[in-house]
Structure 1
Amino acid sequence: MAGFLKRLFGGGGEETSNPENQKPNEIYKEVEIRANPMKDSSGQWRVAGTVTKNIDGVNATRKFIRADLVQGKDEAIAASVNKAKMIIDQNGPSLWKGDDNQPV
């Protein structure tokens, strides 16, 4: 409900699409990367997305939203994919421990 009110009154971001229904932008080290940049109230795009890995037949997904803002949607998609790779590289296997859908 709070998200709806933010969008109604001009706050919060506009997601490009539902990441669960979106094809991966890239597979990197057996991890599906889905860029999901969000348009903010100033018209810029915020770097965001999900990383998903199948572990023992179960998909583990981690969401990320960063403070980085860029001008265009295509630039935001590229930046989101690059940020996801950085998250995967920096966290390694520990990224997949803990609760599913935890933000990173």
Structure 2
Amino acid sequence: MGLFSRLFGVKPKQETQTAEPVEYKGYLIYQEAIPEGGQYRIAGRITKEIKGEVKTHRFIRSDILPSAPDANDFMLKKAQMFIDQMGDDMF
């Protein structure tokens, strides 16, 4: 079946996971590690409502770790540091 899928462009279904946000200093951090070559790229989103509008900053790093929980934990730490340094200027 794999050969025919590749020949006819059928892509396997990817599991969609809804990340539960972590609140930090009024921001919501969504940890969304990206699977890549059997490992996971550190990625996620930082959101905050400002003047009635939800602002989003997409966060993708070049770092790759062996497991999704490790990548998500590292993303959380990096996002918190980014929030401390940039604040609302990130938007």
TM superposition score normalised by structure 2: 0.76
Kindly provide the CA deviation profile for residues 15-56 of structure 1, in whole angstroms up to 9, marking residues without a partner as x: 8746xx5431x1001000000110112x11110000000001
The runs of 4+ residues in structure 1 deviating greater than 4 Å are: none
Q: CA deviation at 1:95?
A: 1.2
Larger radius of gyration: 2
User: Share of identical aligned residues, percent?
Assistant: 33
Structure 1 stretches of 5 or more lacking a match? Answer: 1-7, 9-14, 97-104
Q: How many residues align?
A: 79
Structure 2 stretches of 5 or more lacking a match? Answer: 1-8
| Contact kept? 2:19, 2:31, Cα under 8 Å | no
| Contact kept? 1:32, 1:51, Cα under 8 Å | yes
Determine which structure has the larger strand proportion and give its number. Answer: 2
Instruction: Tell me the equivalent position of 1:45.
Output: 40
Q: Please give the alpha-carbon distance, in whole angstroms, between the structure 2 residues aligned to 1:89 and 1:33.
A: 13
Kindly provide the CA deviation profile for residues 43-96 of structure 1, in whole angstroms up to 9, marking residues without a partner as x: 111100000000011100000100111111111111111111121112122112
The yes-or-no answer on 1:75 pairing with 2:66 is: no
